[in-house]
Amino acid sequence: MTKKIAVLPGDGIGQEIVAEAVKVIKKLQADGLDVEMNEAPVGGTAYDISGSPLPDETLKLAKEADAVLLGAVGGYKWESLDISVRPEKGLLGLRKELGLFANLRPAILYPQLADASTLKPEIVSGLDIMIVRELTGGIYFGQPRGVKTLDNGEREGYNTLVYRESEVKRITEVAFDIARKRGKKVCSVDKANVLEVTEMWRDVVNEMHKDNSDIELSHMYVDNAAMQLVKEPKQFDVMVTTNMFGDILSDCAAMLTGSIGMLPSASLNEKGQGMYEPIHGSAPDIAGQNIANPLATILSVAMMLRYSLDEAAMADRIEKAVDKVLDDGLRTADIYSDGMKKVSTSEMGDAVVTAL
Ligand code: IPM
Ligand code: MG
């Protein structure tokens, strides 16, 4: 049966990079991949058209799809809007409405890019970390939230960091399952020395470990984890953590690999339905210039094929094609170094299609 992909380019460079990923999907369609693509607006682009960053039709399309391919959302243009209709709400709404609680963010260093990292090659060479970020709970969604004015006229802003045991259990289970297929190590990141909710997080992870004792489990406070990621990143295999800590640590891990422009992500729900997106943002400063790196989005298509469309062989092909263009010395500006061949967004996409 034909599988459905909802294509949501979003804002800024989202448009350009998704266009390249679509080229890759079309090439695979020509080779027999049985999928149908339908595009819809999300984020600021959707707000401009409809007054909502997540129009009903877009949400419906996403819900009915087997997988969602998303570019990025946000931009200067919409920064002064009320928070309830900002582009980011479109993305958060998709995550919540689709129940995409498990966000997988691999940080892999391509050997060809060892020089692009700001860290010494020996620190990062061979790096292969999987960050498992809880995506539909925690402080991003906790109630109460808001800004109120106190009796003395001063404003007070507040958000709530809340997790239920069941939410911790299901993300921990994902982390253990993934670790089992890799290095069999999980590091759970929390702030159990200060925050009760993450003290509970740690307890739940320990309880879960009793039935997963084949996995080597460790715990780390988030501040130390940030430091260790830069100091000795190869100590990590799978890291599992809360929504906000995962947001922060995954940007940090991304930079270890040379560029945030290289890293894909998958966000999965309990049914295996998924949303696939680069971990970087909409980069409004370079939008429309055809210089953004499309590889994170193209690699997100590989994750989509593997996790939601049951096409692992095609996923392998994409990853090999990316490897090939890097071997050939092709580099977008963000990963460029002396002696390499600088290419545009669309040239990089074309090169991957050719390599396929
Ligand atoms: C990410 C992004 C989003 C997040 C923003 C755009 C809402 O930073 O996917 O990491 O904070 O989750
Ligand atoms: Mg982020």
Given a cut of 90, is residue 224 above it in pLDDT?
A: yes
Tell me the pairing of strands 128-134 and 155-158: unpaired
Average pLDDT over residues 193-210: 98
Residue linked to tokens 């998704």: 18
Given a cut of 90, is residue 259 above it in pLDDT?
A: no
Average pLDDT over residues 139-158: 98
Closest C-alpha to 112, from 307, 308, 295: 295
Q: Is residue 119 classed as helix, strand or coil in its secondary structure?
A: coil
Residue 203 host element (H or E): helix 196-209
Residue 122 host element (H or E): helix 121-124
Residue linked to tokens 């819900």: 63
**Among 190, 237, 247, 334, the one annotated catalytic:** 247
Q: Spell out which residues have Cβ within 5 A of ligand 2, the ion.
A: 247
What 177-183 contacts at long range (C-beta under 8 Å, 24+ apart), as own/partner pairs, is 178/104, 178/130, 178/132, 178/238, 179/130, 179/215, 179/237, 179/238, 180/214, 180/215, 182/128, 182/130, 182/237, 182/238, 183/128, 183/237, 183/238
Q: Which ligand is nearest to the CA of 140?
A: 1
Q: What's the confidence (pLDDT) of residue 115?
A: 81
Q: What's the confidence (pLDDT) of residue 231?
A: 97
Task: Name the E strands within 120-183.
Answer: 128-134, 146-149, 155-158
Q: Which ligand is nearest to the CA of 73?
A: 1
Please, what is the average pLDDT of the chain?
96
Domain 1-109+258-356 adopts which CATH fold? Isopropylmalate Dehydrogenase (3.40.718)
Q: Which ligand is nearest to the CA of 88?
A: 1
Q: What's the confidence (pLDDT) of residue 258?
A: 82
Express as a percent the part of the chain with pLDDT over 90: 94
Verify whether residue 34 is a known catalytic residue.
no
**Among 47, 191, 237, 307, the one annotated catalytic:** 191
Q: What's the confidence (pLDDT) of residue 116?
A: 82
- The domain locations on the chain are 1-109+258-356, 137-255
Q: In sequence order, what are the beta bridge partners of 327? A: none
Name which residue sits closest to atom 10 of ligand 1, judged by CA. Answer: 247
Q: What's the confidence (pLDDT) of residue 295?
A: 97
Nearest ligand 1 atom to the CA of 92 is: 7
**pTM check: above 0.85:** yes
Given a cut of 90, is residue 117 above it in pLDDT?
A: no
Q: What's the confidence (pLDDT) of residue 184?
A: 98
What is the 8-class DSSP label of residue 73?
-
d(CA 163, CA 156): 23
Q: What's the confidence (pLDDT) of residue 161?
A: 98
Q: What's the confidence (pLDDT) of residue 272?
A: 85
Test site for ligand 1: of 88, 101, 159, 280, most ligand atoms within 8 A of the Cβ:
88
d(CA 265, CA 244): 16
Class of domain 137-255: alpha beta
Nearest ligand 1 atom to the CA of 243 is: 12
Tell me the per-residue pLDDT of 298-333, one tens digit each, with 9 for 90 and over: 999 999 999 999 999 999 999 999 999 999 999 999
Verify whether residue 223 is a known catalytic residue.
yes
Tell me the per-residue pLDDT of 60-87, one tens digit each, with 9 for 90 and over: 999 999 999 999 999 999 999 999 999 9
Verify whether residue 191 is a known catalytic residue.
yes
Average pLDDT over residues 199-222: 98
Nearest ligand 1 atom to the CA of 277 is: 9
Given a cut of 90, is residue 208 above it in pLDDT?
A: yes
Q: What's the confidence (pLDDT) of residue 42?
A: 98
Q: Which two tokens stand for residue 79?
A: 């920064």
Given a cut of 90, is residue 260 above it in pLDDT?
A: no
Find the Cα–Cα–Cα–Cα dihedral 221, 246, 306, 326, rounded to 10°. Answer: -100
Ligand 2 centroid, distance to 148 Cα (angstroms)? 27
3-state secondary structure 298-340: HHHHHHHHHHCCCCHHHHHHHHHHHHHHHHCCEECHHHCCCCC
Q: What is the largest CA-CA distance in the chain?
A: 68
Verify whether residue 251 is a known catalytic residue.
yes
Express as a percent the part of the chain with pLDDT over 70: 100
Q: What's the confidence (pLDDT) of residue 194?
A: 98
**Among 31, 214, 223, 316, the one annotated catalytic:** 223
Judge residue 243's burial from the number of C-beta atoms within 10 Å of its C-beta, 0-12 exposed, 13-18 middle, 19 or more buried: buried
